[in-house]
């Protein structure tokens, strides 16, 4: 599930901000989101494309100048030639080009003149500055983040990421959406909830559905849901209201990098979305099978839990020098901890502390400092490391 598609290919594809160099064909092609025929014809005539490669103009390229696009084509073609030249002298497996990995992709796809970039290693700062040396990206502020807390924790991103595991998302009007996943598809149910202020059932349904359409597009992109997605909107009789909901839903996917097709309302007020798979969903990154459920249930990945605990311990250390820490955690992680206590303590960055662990049947964990002697004495039997 979610593992379809080629994993190895001999087709070279080098993406830039405005275009992608490809060896699969030798033509000039355009993103499906660029619909203006005259614009495409004009651009194709002015592009300086090498004869032995193809160029695909990305959506971002529609608003770029021909000079900037041609500069990028020249840069990408230089990279392509370097790959070919180095490959001639390789007599063993080796890396020819990595395009910056996830960091390079984020910079290419998300940067604009209004961005500030924070990186937590000097190597990343150097890479970003070299990347930005290209004038295509304008002036962007780049700073080194050197706090001991993780960047995600400092800016509250961890909290936002964890909230994406919740299947219920509330709307401003008092309604909510419920996101469920099955083996075959995702199902999103829209509910009016506490939204009972409107003068008619139709208006209540419209307001709730309108806000839901905006939030659904946001949640699909944040969670990276793909494949078949079915939305069960609240019943509406007014055809114009249905059209407005469809327009709002389409607006929400306007800047989506994945190909997304939205099908019209059915008689049952269902809307089907087909979204191309690209990468993993948020669930694949955050969750793993739960052994206590016979592999049918899901739990937060233990490695992720350790990182969250480490962040909590760091917050405690910022306030005072504490040597004894009590961790209350779900019993589903007992085998992970007991199986290798030392690795667990290393992962939470607590080798200089005494660690006490108690278990309960609750997915939420708690980390607390032990300040008084009676606290330590009462938990002595639960100490796993000192």
pLDDT band at 110 (very low <50, low <70, confident <90, very high): confident
pLDDT band at 342 (very low <50, low <70, confident <90, very high): very high
pLDDT per position as a tens digit, 137-149: 777 889 999 887 7
Among all chains, which residue has been given the structure tokens 């160029």?
55
Distance CA 381, CA 378 (A): 8
In the predicted model, what is the mean pLDDT of residues 310-336?
91
In the predicted model, what is the mean pLDDT of residues 196-220?
90
Whether 207 and 173 have beta carbons less than 8 Å apart is answered as yes
Q: What is the DSSP string of 15-66?
A: E-SSEEEESS-SSEEE-TT---HHHHHHHHHH----TTSEEEE-GGGGGS-H
Q: Output 318 or 274, whichever has higher pLDDT.
A: 274
pLDDT band at 4 (very low <50, low <70, confident <90, very high): low
Q: What is the DSSP string of 82-117?
A: HHHHHHTT--S---S--TTHHHHHHHHHH--TT-EE
- 3-state SS assignment for residue 175: coil
pLDDT band at 22 (very low <50, low <70, confident <90, very high): very high
Supply the DSSP symbol for 308. Answer: H
pLDDT per position as a tens digit, 25-41: 899 999 988 989 999 99
> Is pLDDT at 369 greater than 90 in this prediction?
yes
Domain range summary for the chain, segments of one domain joined by +: 13-87, 101-146, 159-275, 301-385
Distance CA 331, CA 337 (A): 10
Contacts of 192 (CB under 8 A, 6+ apart): 174, 175, 204, 205, 208, 234
In the predicted model, what is the mean pLDDT of residues 110-118?
83
Distance CA 303, CA 294 (A): 20
């Amino acid at each position: 599930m979610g593992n379809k598609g080629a994993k190895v290919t001999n087709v070279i594809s080098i993406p830039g901000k405005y275009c992608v160099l490809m060896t699969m064909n030798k033509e000039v092609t355009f993103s499906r989101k660029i619909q203006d025929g005259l614009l495409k014809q004009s651009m194709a005539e002015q592009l300086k494309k090498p004869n032995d490669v193809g160029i695909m103009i990305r959506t971002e390229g529609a608003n770029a100048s021909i000079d900037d696009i041609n500069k990028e084509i020249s840069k990408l073609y230089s990279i392509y030639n370097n790959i070919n030249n180095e490959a001639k002298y390789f007599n063993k497996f080796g890396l020819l080009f990595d395009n910056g990995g996830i960091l390079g992709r984020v910079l290419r796809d998300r940067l604009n003149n209004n961005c500030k970039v924070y990186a937590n290693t000097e190597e990343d700062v150097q890479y970003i500055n070299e990347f930005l040396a290209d004038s295509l990206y304008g002036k962007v502020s780049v700073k080194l983040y050197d706090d001991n807390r993780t960047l995600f924790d400092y800016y509250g991103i961890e909290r936002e990421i964890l909230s994406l595991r919740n299947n219920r998302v509330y709307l401003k009007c008092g309604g909510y959406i419920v996101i469920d996943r099955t083996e075959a598809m995702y199902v999103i149910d829209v509910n009016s909830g506490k939204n009972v202020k409107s003068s008619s059932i139709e208006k209540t349904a419209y307001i709730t559905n309108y806000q839901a359409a905006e939030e659904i597009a946001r949640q699909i992109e944040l969670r990276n849901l793909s494949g078949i997605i079915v939305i069960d909107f609240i019943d509406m009789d007014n055809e114009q209201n249905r059209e407005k909901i469809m327009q709002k839903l389409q607006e929400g996917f306007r800047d989506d990098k994945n190909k997304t097709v939205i099908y019209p309302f059915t008689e049952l007020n269902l809307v089907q979305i087909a979204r191309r798979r690209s990468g993993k969903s948020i669930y694949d990154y955050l969750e793993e099978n739960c052994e206590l459920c016979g592999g049918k249930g899901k739990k937060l990945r233990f490695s992720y839990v350790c990182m969250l605990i480490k962040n909590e311990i760091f917050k405690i250390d910022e306030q005072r020098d504490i040597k004894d820490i009590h961790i209350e955690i779900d019993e589903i992680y007992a085998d992970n901890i007991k199986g290798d206590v030392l690795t667990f303590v290393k992962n939470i960055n607590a080798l200089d502390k005494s660690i006490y662990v108690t278990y309960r049947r609750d997915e939420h964990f708690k980390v607390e400092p032990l300040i008084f002697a009676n606290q330590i004495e009462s938990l002595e039997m639960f100490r796993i490391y000192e």
